[in-house]
A = this chain, B = another copy of it.
Amino acid sequence: MIQYQVLNRTFSALSDHTRRDILTQLSRGPASVSELAGPSTMSLTGLKKHVQVLEEAGLVVTEKVGRTRVCRLGPDRLDEAAHWIDVFRARWEWCLRDHPGA
């Protein structure tokens, strides 16, 4: 997959607060889909769809263990997204120095 497509998919996956919450929960350790749902009012079906988006973006991996699907953080460490933002912010600072009124 071309790099811009990877970034499109990563930023799109991050553009929903439920998906960001799932990532935050998994940063504390692996969890089943039911554990991720917790006391929230979201249906398991809705939650599974969010997990699938995260899985397609490489941010989460899931594995069937017995009758439970266990989710954990995936191989994508948001390196590309963090790098894009860092480069943009550095350029922006430079632009402000060069065009103070910009």
Point out residues on A near B: beta carbons under 8 Å. Answer: 4-5, 7-9, 11-12, 14-17, 20, 23-24, 26-30, 72-73, 77-78, 81-82, 84-86, 88-89, 91-92, 94-95, 98-99, 102
Contact = CB atoms under 8 A, between A and B. Distances in A.
B24 A88 contact: yes
Contact of A95 (B4, B28, B86): B28
Contacts of A27: 88, 91-92, 94-95
A29 B95 CA distance: 6
Contact of A29 (B4, B11, B99): B99
Contacts of A23: 88
A88 B101 CA distance: 34
